[in-house]
């Protein structure tokens, strides 16, 4: 009888130890997957910035040319482009749902004209001189993870066409 109680007690320790090891493996796996997703998002943002900068630079110097471009954005993030030459006009009449962080960056004269925003992402970059017709900015919502628009060469800057 004493031997069977001791065996049962040993089994309990084995089960508890197994649960602790399995729990540790689940926690480590979750942390690894989360870190990998964050790395993918950071990589997508860098690729977006580099591709946009390259396209703006290439097309802006080719006066009169235009090209429809499409970019992948991470998650459900919006891509907002701003004409910095018209910053005062944008700030004098902002829409009701204007992002306060974007407004603060524009007011502080930081040279950033592209913003990628979502509940978990906020990144800002400068991609070169761009021009956007009134209201001098546009936020593109992704369709199937991509945003599309037309870039036209204007000699020393690129004109972003916001019409579909």
Q: Which domain holds residue 65?
A: 36-161
How far apart CA 35 and CA 40 sit, in angstroms, is 9
Q: What is the pLDDT along the chain (164 residues), one digit of tens a residue?
A: 445 666 666 788 888 899 999 999 999 999 999 888 888 889 999 999 999 999 999 998 888 899 999 999 998 899 999 999 999 999 998 888 889 999 999 999 999 999 999 998 999 999 999 999 988 999 999 999 899 999 999 888 999 997 76
Which residues are registered as beta bridge partners of 67? Answer: 151
- Asked if residue 132 is part of any domain, the answer here is yes
- Asked if residue 76 is part of any domain, the answer here is yes
- Asked if residue 2 is part of any domain, the answer here is no
- Asked if residue 127 is part of any domain, the answer here is yes
- Asked if residue 139 is part of any domain, the answer here is yes
* Range 102-109, long-range pairs (CB < 8 A, 24+ positions): 106/82
- Asked if residue 8 is part of any domain, the answer here is no
Number of domains present in the structure of the chain = 1
- Asked if residue 18 is part of any domain, the answer here is no
- Asked if residue 57 is part of any domain, the answer here is yes
């Amino acid at each position: 009888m004493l031997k069977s109680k001791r065996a049962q007690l040993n089994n309990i320790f084995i089960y508890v130890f197994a649960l602790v090891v399995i729990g540790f493996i689940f926690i480590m796996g979750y942390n690894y997957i989360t870190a990998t997703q964050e790395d993918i998002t950071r990589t997508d943002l860098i690729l977006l910035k580099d591709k946009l900068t390259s396209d703006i630079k290439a097309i802006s110097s080719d006066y009169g040319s235009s090209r429809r471009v499409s970019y992948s954005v991470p998650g459900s993030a919006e891509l907002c482009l701003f004409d910095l030459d018209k910053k005062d006009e944008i700030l004098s009449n902002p829409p009701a749902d204007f992002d306060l962080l974007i407004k603060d960056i524009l007011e502080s004269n930081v040279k950033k004209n592209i913003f990628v925003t979502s509940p978990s992402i906020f990144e800002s970059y400068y991609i070169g001189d761009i021009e956007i017709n009134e209201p001098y900015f546009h936020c593109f919502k992704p369709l199937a993870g991509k945003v599309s628009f037309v870039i036209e060469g204007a000699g020393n800057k690129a004109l972003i066409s916001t019409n579909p």
